[in-house]
Protein backbone atom coordinates (compact mmCIF):
# COMPACT_ATOMS: atom_id res chain seq x y z
CA UNK A 1 0.00 0.00 0.00
CA UNK A 2 1.16 3.52 -0.70
CA UNK A 3 -0.34 4.93 2.50
CA UNK A 4 1.42 5.01 5.85
CA UNK A 5 0.46 2.50 8.60
CA UNK A 6 -2.75 3.26 10.49
CA UNK A 7 -2.99 2.86 14.27
CA UNK A 8 -4.72 -0.48 14.91
CA UNK A 9 -6.57 0.97 17.88
CA UNK A 10 -9.05 2.34 15.32
CA UNK A 11 -10.02 -1.18 14.22
CA UNK A 12 -10.00 -2.54 17.77
CA UNK A 13 -12.46 0.20 18.74
CA UNK A 14 -14.62 -0.37 15.64
CA UNK A 15 -14.96 -4.09 16.38
CA UNK A 16 -15.76 -3.43 20.03
CA UNK A 17 -18.53 -1.01 19.02
CA UNK A 18 -19.96 -3.44 16.50
CA UNK A 19 -19.94 -6.45 18.80
CA UNK A 20 -21.62 -4.42 21.56
CA UNK A 21 -24.72 -4.29 19.33
CA UNK A 22 -24.84 -7.94 18.33
CA UNK A 23 -27.55 -10.27 19.59
CA UNK A 24 -26.73 -12.97 22.16
CA UNK A 25 -25.05 -16.11 20.78
CA UNK A 26 -24.47 -14.58 17.36
CA UNK A 27 -21.71 -14.64 14.75
CA UNK A 28 -20.95 -11.95 12.18
CA UNK A 29 -18.90 -12.66 9.05
CA UNK A 30 -17.38 -10.14 6.63
CA UNK A 31 -15.81 -11.03 3.28
CA UNK A 32 -13.32 -9.25 1.05
CA UNK A 33 -14.34 -8.13 -2.40
CA UNK A 34 -13.63 -10.29 -5.41
CA UNK A 35 -10.96 -9.54 -7.94
CA UNK A 36 -13.03 -8.83 -11.05
CA UNK A 37 -11.93 -10.01 -14.52
CA UNK A 38 -11.64 -7.79 -17.58
CA UNK A 39 -10.88 -10.42 -20.24
CA UNK A 40 -8.20 -13.02 -20.99
CA UNK A 41 -5.98 -12.99 -17.88
CA UNK A 42 -6.59 -9.30 -17.12
CA UNK A 43 -8.26 -8.11 -13.94
CA UNK A 44 -9.37 -4.85 -12.44
CA UNK A 45 -7.22 -3.47 -9.62
CA UNK A 46 -8.33 -4.91 -6.29
CA UNK A 47 -10.41 -2.63 -4.11
CA UNK A 48 -11.19 -3.85 -0.61
CA UNK A 49 -14.74 -4.09 0.73
CA UNK A 50 -15.05 -1.13 3.05
CA UNK A 51 -16.78 -3.01 5.87
CA UNK A 52 -14.05 -5.59 6.47
CA UNK A 53 -11.54 -2.77 6.10
CA UNK A 54 -13.38 -0.67 8.70
CA UNK A 55 -13.41 -3.54 11.19
CA UNK A 56 -9.94 -5.01 10.62
CA UNK A 57 -7.68 -2.77 8.54
CA UNK A 58 -6.99 -5.75 6.26
CA UNK A 59 -6.52 -4.38 2.75
CA UNK A 60 -6.05 -7.67 0.92
CA UNK A 61 -8.06 -9.99 -1.31
CA UNK A 62 -9.49 -13.35 -0.16
CA UNK A 63 -9.80 -12.34 3.49
CA UNK A 64 -12.59 -13.09 5.96
CA UNK A 65 -13.33 -11.56 9.37
CA UNK A 66 -15.39 -13.49 11.93
CA UNK A 67 -16.75 -11.94 15.13
CA UNK A 68 -18.29 -14.10 17.87
CA UNK A 69 -18.32 -12.21 21.21
CA UNK A 70 -19.65 -15.19 23.22
CA UNK A 71 -17.48 -17.93 21.73
CA UNK A 72 -16.57 -20.56 24.30
CA UNK A 73 -12.88 -20.16 23.55
CA UNK A 74 -11.67 -16.59 23.86
CA UNK A 75 -9.39 -17.00 20.85
CA UNK A 76 -12.45 -17.45 18.62
CA UNK A 77 -14.15 -14.19 19.55
CA UNK A 78 -12.24 -12.33 16.84
CA UNK A 79 -10.78 -14.34 13.97
CA UNK A 80 -9.12 -13.46 10.67
CA UNK A 81 -8.82 -15.87 7.75
CA UNK A 82 -6.19 -15.02 5.16
CA UNK A 83 -4.88 -16.47 1.95
CA UNK A 84 -1.80 -18.48 2.84
CA UNK A 85 1.33 -16.81 1.57
CA UNK A 86 4.55 -18.50 0.42
CA UNK A 87 7.78 -17.74 -1.43
CA UNK A 88 6.18 -18.31 -4.85
CA UNK A 89 3.37 -15.81 -4.15
CA UNK A 90 5.87 -13.33 -2.73
CA UNK A 91 7.92 -13.47 -5.94
CA UNK A 92 5.07 -13.34 -8.43
CA UNK A 93 2.48 -11.17 -6.67
CA UNK A 94 4.37 -9.37 -3.95
CA UNK A 95 4.14 -9.41 -0.18
CA UNK A 96 0.97 -10.74 1.45
CA UNK A 97 0.03 -10.56 5.12
CA UNK A 98 1.65 -13.07 7.40
CA UNK A 99 -0.14 -14.03 10.61
CA UNK A 100 2.22 -11.79 12.55
CA UNK A 101 1.75 -8.84 10.25
CA UNK A 102 -2.03 -9.31 10.28
CA UNK A 103 -1.96 -8.90 14.06
CA UNK A 104 0.12 -5.74 13.72
CA UNK A 105 -2.43 -4.28 11.31
CA UNK A 106 -5.68 -5.39 12.97
CA UNK A 107 -4.98 -6.20 16.62
CA UNK A 108 -6.58 -9.63 16.06
CA UNK A 109 -4.57 -12.42 17.70
CA UNK A 110 -6.21 -15.43 16.06
CA UNK A 111 -5.34 -15.76 12.39
CA UNK A 112 -6.01 -18.88 10.30
CA UNK A 113 -5.31 -19.59 6.66
CA UNK A 114 -8.36 -19.47 4.42
CA UNK A 115 -8.22 -23.23 3.83
CA UNK A 116 -9.26 -23.73 7.47
CA UNK A 117 -12.38 -21.56 7.30
CA UNK A 118 -15.03 -24.22 6.62
CA UNK A 119 -13.91 -26.41 9.51
CA UNK A 120 -13.56 -23.59 12.05
CA UNK A 121 -16.78 -21.90 10.93
CA UNK A 122 -18.82 -25.11 11.23
CA UNK A 123 -17.55 -25.70 14.76
CA UNK A 124 -18.41 -22.17 15.85
CA UNK A 125 -21.85 -22.28 14.25
CA UNK A 126 -22.72 -25.21 16.53
CA UNK A 127 -22.34 -22.75 19.43
CA UNK A 128 -24.24 -19.91 17.77
CA UNK A 129 -27.95 -19.31 17.23
CA UNK A 130 -27.86 -16.29 14.92
CA UNK A 131 -25.62 -15.26 12.03
CA UNK A 132 -25.25 -11.68 10.81
CA UNK A 133 -25.18 -11.30 7.03
CA UNK A 134 -23.61 -8.22 5.50
CA UNK A 135 -26.04 -7.24 2.75
CA UNK A 136 -25.71 -4.00 0.79
CA UNK A 137 -28.48 -1.66 1.96
CA UNK A 138 -27.03 1.69 0.95
CA UNK A 139 -29.75 4.01 -0.33
CA UNK A 140 -27.93 4.43 -3.68
CA UNK A 141 -27.01 0.79 -4.26
CA UNK A 142 -27.81 -0.71 -7.66
CA UNK A 143 -25.38 -3.62 -7.85
CA UNK A 144 -26.12 -6.45 -10.29
CA UNK A 145 -22.92 -8.48 -9.80
CA UNK A 146 -23.03 -11.45 -7.42
CA UNK A 147 -20.37 -10.64 -4.85
CA UNK A 148 -18.23 -12.85 -2.63
CA UNK A 149 -20.55 -11.80 0.22
CA UNK A 150 -23.62 -12.87 -1.78
CA UNK A 151 -22.15 -16.31 -2.45
CA UNK A 152 -21.28 -16.74 1.22
CA UNK A 153 -24.83 -15.85 2.29
CA UNK A 154 -26.37 -18.27 -0.21
CA UNK A 155 -24.10 -21.13 0.89
CA UNK A 156 -24.59 -20.47 4.61
CA UNK A 157 -28.38 -20.37 4.36
CA UNK A 158 -28.31 -23.78 2.68
CA UNK A 159 -25.84 -25.25 5.15
CA UNK A 160 -27.43 -23.86 8.33
CA UNK A 161 -31.19 -23.53 7.68
CA UNK A 162 -32.09 -23.75 11.38
CA UNK A 163 -30.11 -20.65 12.39
CA UNK A 164 -31.66 -17.22 12.70
CA UNK A 165 -30.41 -14.46 10.43
CA UNK A 166 -29.73 -10.83 11.26
CA UNK A 167 -28.41 -7.79 9.35
CA UNK A 168 -24.98 -6.24 9.88
CA UNK A 169 -25.64 -3.24 7.69
CA UNK A 170 -27.88 -1.16 10.00
CA UNK A 171 -25.23 -1.40 12.71
CA UNK A 172 -22.48 -0.42 10.28
CA UNK A 173 -24.55 2.40 8.80
CA UNK A 174 -24.71 4.06 12.21
CA UNK A 175 -21.15 3.31 13.26
CA UNK A 176 -19.44 4.28 10.03
CA UNK A 177 -21.41 7.52 9.65
CA UNK A 178 -19.81 8.96 12.81
CA UNK A 179 -16.06 9.32 12.32
CA UNK A 180 -13.27 8.59 14.79
CA UNK A 181 -10.53 11.20 15.20
CA UNK A 182 -8.12 8.92 13.30
CA UNK A 183 -10.59 8.74 10.40
CA UNK A 184 -10.97 12.52 10.32
CA UNK A 185 -7.18 12.84 10.13
CA UNK A 186 -7.15 10.43 7.17
CA UNK A 187 -9.92 12.41 5.46
CA UNK A 188 -7.97 15.60 6.09
CA UNK A 189 -4.92 14.02 4.44
CA UNK A 190 -7.03 13.10 1.40
CA UNK A 191 -8.32 16.69 1.23
CA UNK A 192 -4.80 18.08 1.56
CA UNK A 193 -3.67 15.97 -1.39
CA UNK A 194 -6.63 17.26 -3.38
CA UNK A 195 -5.57 20.81 -2.53
CA UNK A 196 -2.09 20.15 -3.92
CA UNK A 197 -3.62 18.87 -7.14
CA UNK A 198 -5.89 21.89 -7.48
CA UNK A 199 -3.09 24.39 -6.92
CA UNK A 200 -1.03 22.57 -9.54
CA UNK A 201 -3.91 22.82 -12.01
CA UNK A 202 -4.38 26.56 -11.38
CA UNK A 203 -0.85 27.09 -12.66
CA UNK A 204 -1.43 24.81 -15.64
CA UNK A 205 -4.78 25.82 -17.16
CA UNK A 206 -4.84 28.17 -20.13
CA UNK A 207 -6.75 28.39 -23.41
CA UNK A 208 -6.02 25.41 -25.63
CA UNK A 209 -5.32 22.78 -22.96
CA UNK A 210 -7.45 19.67 -23.12
CA UNK A 211 -9.68 18.36 -20.37
CA UNK A 212 -7.70 15.10 -20.20
CA UNK A 213 -4.47 17.06 -19.72
CA UNK A 214 -5.98 18.66 -16.61
CA UNK A 215 -7.02 15.19 -15.40
CA UNK A 216 -3.41 14.06 -15.90
CA UNK A 217 -2.08 16.94 -13.80
CA UNK A 218 -4.36 15.93 -10.93
CA UNK A 219 -3.42 12.24 -11.01
CA UNK A 220 0.29 13.08 -11.13
CA UNK A 221 0.05 15.17 -7.99
CA UNK A 222 -2.21 12.67 -6.22
CA UNK A 223 0.02 9.64 -6.76
CA UNK A 224 3.21 11.48 -5.82
CA UNK A 225 1.56 12.18 -2.45
CA UNK A 226 0.79 8.52 -1.58
CA UNK A 227 -2.70 8.38 -3.05
CA UNK A 228 -3.86 5.51 -5.28
CA UNK A 229 -5.50 8.20 -7.38
CA UNK A 230 -9.04 9.54 -7.71
CA UNK A 231 -11.73 8.67 -5.16
CA UNK A 232 -14.19 8.43 -8.07
CA UNK A 233 -14.21 8.98 -11.81
CA UNK A 234 -13.17 12.63 -12.25
CA UNK A 235 -15.28 15.25 -14.02
CA UNK A 236 -13.31 17.84 -16.02
CA UNK A 237 -16.07 19.70 -17.83
CA UNK A 238 -15.33 22.83 -19.84
CA UNK A 239 -17.92 25.13 -21.32
CA UNK A 240 -21.32 23.54 -21.88
CA UNK A 241 -20.01 20.15 -20.76
CA UNK A 242 -20.52 21.38 -17.20
CA UNK A 243 -24.26 21.08 -17.74
CA UNK A 244 -23.93 17.30 -17.99
CA UNK A 245 -23.91 16.39 -14.30
CA UNK A 246 -21.81 13.25 -14.65
CA UNK A 247 -19.70 14.22 -17.65
CA UNK A 248 -16.63 11.94 -17.57
CA UNK A 249 -15.37 11.89 -21.17
CA UNK A 250 -12.86 14.65 -20.39
CA UNK A 251 -11.83 14.77 -24.06
CA UNK A 252 -12.52 18.33 -25.22
CA UNK A 253 -10.32 21.42 -25.57
CA UNK A 254 -10.73 24.26 -23.09
CA UNK A 255 -11.60 27.47 -24.92
CA UNK A 256 -10.83 31.08 -24.11
CA UNK A 257 -13.77 32.66 -22.24
CA UNK A 258 -15.19 29.35 -20.97
CA UNK A 259 -15.39 28.03 -17.43
CA UNK A 260 -14.14 24.60 -16.37
CA UNK A 261 -16.08 22.65 -13.74
CA UNK A 262 -13.75 20.17 -12.02
CA UNK A 263 -15.28 17.58 -9.68
CA UNK A 264 -12.30 15.57 -8.41
CA UNK A 265 -10.99 14.13 -5.18
CA UNK A 266 -7.96 12.17 -4.05
CA UNK A 267 -8.27 9.05 -1.95
CA UNK A 268 -5.89 8.31 0.88
CA UNK A 269 -5.79 4.97 2.73
CA UNK A 270 -9.17 4.19 1.09
CA UNK A 271 -10.73 7.36 2.54
CA UNK A 272 -12.33 9.70 0.00
CA UNK A 273 -12.25 13.40 -0.60
CA UNK A 274 -14.75 15.10 -2.89
CA UNK A 275 -14.08 18.59 -4.21
CA UNK A 276 -15.62 20.72 -6.94
CA UNK A 277 -14.19 23.99 -8.20
CA UNK A 278 -15.11 26.04 -11.25
CA UNK A 279 -12.40 28.20 -12.81
CA UNK A 280 -12.05 30.43 -15.90
CA UNK A 281 -9.94 29.00 -18.72
CA UNK A 282 -8.21 32.34 -19.30
CA UNK A 283 -7.85 33.18 -15.63
CA UNK A 284 -10.55 35.88 -15.58
CA UNK A 285 -14.26 35.53 -14.83
CA UNK A 286 -16.69 37.56 -16.93
CA UNK A 287 -19.18 39.74 -15.06
CA UNK A 288 -21.99 37.24 -15.62
CA UNK A 289 -19.83 34.23 -14.73
CA UNK A 290 -18.83 35.94 -11.49
CA UNK A 291 -22.47 36.77 -10.65
CA UNK A 292 -23.51 33.13 -10.99
CA UNK A 293 -20.37 31.88 -9.22
CA UNK A 294 -20.89 34.15 -6.23
CA UNK A 295 -24.55 33.14 -6.01
CA UNK A 296 -23.52 29.48 -5.78
CA UNK A 297 -20.87 30.33 -3.20
CA UNK A 298 -23.38 32.20 -1.03
CA UNK A 299 -25.69 29.18 -1.06
CA UNK A 300 -22.77 26.95 -0.11
CA UNK A 301 -21.79 29.18 2.81
CA UNK A 302 -25.31 29.33 4.22
CA UNK A 303 -26.02 25.65 3.58
CA UNK A 304 -22.87 24.72 5.48
CA UNK A 305 -24.13 26.56 8.56
CA UNK A 306 -27.21 24.28 8.62
CA UNK A 307 -25.14 21.10 9.06
CA UNK A 308 -25.49 20.83 12.83
CA UNK A 309 -26.47 18.04 15.24
CA UNK A 310 -30.20 17.34 15.31
CA UNK A 311 -30.98 18.47 11.77
CA UNK A 312 -32.46 16.06 9.26
CA UNK A 313 -31.18 15.53 5.72
CA UNK A 314 -34.58 15.94 4.00
CA UNK A 315 -35.52 19.13 5.86
CA UNK A 316 -32.03 20.49 5.27
CA UNK A 317 -32.45 20.14 1.52
CA UNK A 318 -35.79 21.95 1.64
CA UNK A 319 -34.09 24.92 3.33
CA UNK A 320 -31.23 24.88 0.82
CA UNK A 321 -33.86 24.99 -1.95
CA UNK A 322 -35.22 28.22 -0.48
CA UNK A 323 -31.73 29.75 -0.54
CA UNK A 324 -31.25 28.73 -4.16
CA UNK A 325 -34.68 30.04 -5.15
CA UNK A 326 -33.73 33.47 -3.82
CA UNK A 327 -30.44 33.48 -5.73
CA UNK A 328 -32.04 32.38 -8.99
CA UNK A 329 -34.60 35.16 -8.68
CA UNK A 330 -31.74 37.62 -8.25
CA UNK A 331 -30.00 36.27 -11.34
CA UNK A 332 -33.17 36.58 -13.43
CA UNK A 333 -33.23 32.87 -14.21
CA UNK A 334 -36.67 32.39 -12.65
CA UNK A 335 -39.39 34.85 -11.70
CA UNK A 336 -42.04 35.11 -8.99
CA UNK A 337 -44.64 33.47 -11.23
CA UNK A 338 -42.39 30.42 -11.63
CA UNK A 339 -42.23 30.13 -7.86
CA UNK A 340 -45.95 30.71 -7.29
CA UNK A 341 -46.88 28.08 -9.88
CA UNK A 342 -44.19 25.51 -9.02
CA UNK A 343 -44.80 21.82 -8.53
CA UNK A 344 -44.01 21.08 -4.86
CA UNK A 345 -42.40 17.79 -5.92
CA UNK A 346 -40.13 19.60 -8.39
CA UNK A 347 -39.76 23.23 -7.29
CA UNK A 348 -38.87 26.00 -9.74
CA UNK A 349 -35.23 26.13 -8.64
CA UNK A 350 -34.75 22.53 -9.84
CA UNK A 351 -34.60 23.77 -13.43
CA UNK A 352 -31.11 25.10 -12.70
CA UNK A 353 -30.12 23.08 -9.60
CA UNK A 354 -31.43 19.56 -10.04
CA UNK A 355 -29.32 17.50 -7.63
CA UNK A 356 -28.91 17.28 -3.86
CA UNK A 357 -26.61 19.46 -1.80
CA UNK A 358 -24.94 17.03 0.59
CA UNK A 359 -24.07 13.38 1.13
CA UNK A 360 -22.07 11.48 3.74
CA UNK A 361 -18.32 11.12 3.17
CA UNK A 362 -15.80 8.58 4.42
CA UNK A 363 -14.49 5.23 3.24
CA UNK A 364 -16.98 5.54 0.38
CA UNK A 365 -17.47 8.75 -1.57
CA UNK A 366 -21.21 8.29 -0.96
CA UNK A 367 -20.64 6.94 2.51
CA UNK A 368 -22.90 5.17 4.97
CA UNK A 369 -25.53 7.15 6.80
CA UNK A 370 -29.21 6.71 7.60
CA UNK A 371 -30.99 9.71 6.11
CA UNK A 372 -34.07 9.59 8.32
CA UNK A 373 -32.05 9.87 11.53
CA UNK A 374 -30.73 13.20 12.87
CA UNK A 375 -27.27 14.48 12.06
CA UNK A 376 -24.60 13.92 14.69
CA UNK A 377 -21.26 15.44 15.61
CA UNK A 378 -18.32 14.00 13.65
CA UNK A 379 -20.40 13.07 10.65
CA UNK A 380 -18.69 14.25 7.46
CA UNK A 381 -20.74 15.73 4.64
CA UNK A 382 -20.13 17.32 1.28
CA UNK A 383 -21.72 20.69 0.53
CA UNK A 384 -22.10 21.08 -3.24
CA UNK A 385 -24.69 23.50 -4.66
CA UNK A 386 -24.61 24.33 -8.34
CA UNK A 387 -26.30 26.39 -11.04
CA UNK A 388 -26.39 24.99 -14.58
CA UNK A 389 -27.37 27.23 -17.50
CA UNK A 390 -27.24 25.42 -20.86
CA UNK A 391 -28.64 28.46 -22.67
CA UNK A 392 -25.62 30.50 -21.49
CA UNK A 393 -23.12 27.72 -22.14
CA UNK A 394 -21.74 27.22 -18.65
CA UNK A 395 -22.41 25.74 -15.24
CA UNK A 396 -20.97 26.39 -11.79
CA UNK A 397 -20.66 23.96 -8.88
CA UNK A 398 -18.65 24.42 -5.70
CA UNK A 399 -18.03 21.68 -3.16
CA UNK A 400 -16.23 21.22 0.14
CA UNK A 401 -16.11 18.41 2.71
CA UNK A 402 -17.04 19.39 6.27
CA UNK A 403 -17.17 17.78 9.72
CA UNK A 404 -20.20 18.44 11.91
CA UNK A 405 -19.19 19.81 15.31
CA UNK A 406 -20.96 19.32 18.64
CA UNK A 407 -21.44 23.11 18.76
CA UNK A 408 -21.22 25.80 16.13
CA UNK A 409 -20.54 25.59 12.41
CA UNK A 410 -18.93 22.56 10.78
CA UNK A 411 -15.17 22.35 10.35
CA UNK A 412 -14.22 22.66 6.69
CA UNK A 413 -11.62 20.04 5.72
CA UNK A 414 -11.06 22.04 2.52
CA UNK A 415 -10.77 25.49 4.09
CA UNK A 416 -7.31 25.95 2.56
CA UNK A 417 -8.42 25.19 -1.00
CA UNK A 418 -8.94 28.49 -2.89
CA UNK A 419 -12.56 29.23 -3.67
CA UNK A 420 -13.12 33.02 -3.81
CA UNK A 421 -13.06 34.47 -7.33
CA UNK A 422 -10.40 37.07 -6.51
CA UNK A 423 -8.04 34.45 -5.07
CA UNK A 424 -8.52 32.12 -8.05
CA UNK A 425 -7.85 34.95 -10.51
CA UNK A 426 -4.74 36.01 -8.59
CA UNK A 427 -3.33 32.48 -8.54
CA UNK A 428 -4.02 31.97 -12.25
CA UNK A 429 -2.39 35.20 -13.39
Indicate if 346 and 279 belong to the same structural domain.
yes
Indicate if 158 and 202 belong to the same structural domain.
no
- Look at the chain and report how many structural domains it folds into: 2
Tell me what pLDDT residue 337 has: 97
Q: Averaged over 388-416, what is the pLDDT?
A: 98
Q: Give me the CATH number covering residue 336.
A: 3.90.230.10
Tell me what pLDDT residue 89 has: 75
Strands (E), 15-141: 26-31, 37-39, 42-43, 64-67, 78-82, 110-113, 130-133
Indicate if 145 and 231 belong to the same structural domain.
no
Query: Is 3 part of any domain?
Result: no
Q: Averaged over 148-165, what is the pLDDT?
A: 97
The yes-or-no verdict on residue 201 having pLDDT over 70 is yes
- Band of the pLDDT at 95, cuts 50, 70, 90? confident
Q: Averaged over 347-352, what is the pLDDT?
A: 98
Determine which of 36-50, 232-246, 401-415 has the lowest per-residue pLDDT on average.
36-50
Tell me what pLDDT residue 91 has: 65
Q: Averaged over 82-97, what is the pLDDT?
A: 80
Indicate if 52 and 199 belong to the same structural domain.
no
Indicate if 156 and 202 belong to the same structural domain.
no
Residue 317's closest CA among 404, 381, 255, 398?
A: 381
pLDDT in tens, 360-381: 999 999 999 999 999 999 999 9
Is pTM, for the whole model, over 0.85? yes
Among residues 147, 176, 205, which one ends one of the domains?
A: 176
Q: What gap in Å lies between CA 411 and CA 231, rounded to an integer?
A: 21
Query: Is 160 part of any domain?
Result: yes
Indicate if 162 and 205 belong to the same structural domain.
no
Query: Is 1 part of any domain?
Result: no
Determine which of 86-100, 211-225, 277-291 has the lowest per-residue pLDDT on average.
86-100
pLDDT in tens, 44-76: 999 999 999 999 999 999 999 999 999 999 999
pLDDT in tens, 302-332: 999 999 999 999 999 999 999 999 999 999 9
Q: Give me the CATH number covering residue 48.
A: 3.40.350.10
Indicate if 13 and 120 belong to the same structural domain.
yes
- Band of the pLDDT at 143, cuts 50, 70, 90? confident
Indicate if 142 and 236 belong to the same structural domain.
no
Among residues 110, 142, 176, which one ends one of the domains?
A: 176
Percent of the chain at pLDDT above 90? Answer: 94
Indicate if 206 and 118 belong to the same structural domain.
no
Query: What is the domain range of residue 87?
Result: 9-176
Query: Is 196 part of any domain?
Result: yes
The yes-or-no verdict on residue 265 having pLDDT over 90 is yes
Indicate if 165 and 224 belong to the same structural domain.
no
Q: Averaged over 401-413, what is the pLDDT?
A: 97
Amino acid sequence: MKYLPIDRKLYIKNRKNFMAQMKPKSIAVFNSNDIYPVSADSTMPFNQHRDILYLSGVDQEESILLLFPEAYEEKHREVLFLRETNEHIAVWEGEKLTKERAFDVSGIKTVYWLSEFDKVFFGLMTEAETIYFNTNEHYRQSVETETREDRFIKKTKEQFPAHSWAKSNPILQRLRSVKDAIEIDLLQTACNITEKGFRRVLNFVKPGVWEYEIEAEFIHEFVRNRSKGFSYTPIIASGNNANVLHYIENNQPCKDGDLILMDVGAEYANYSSDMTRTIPVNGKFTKRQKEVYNAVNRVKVEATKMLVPGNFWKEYHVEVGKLMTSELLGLGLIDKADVQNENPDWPAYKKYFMHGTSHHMGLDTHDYGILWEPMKANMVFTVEPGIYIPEEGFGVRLEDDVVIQSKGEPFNLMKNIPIETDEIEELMN
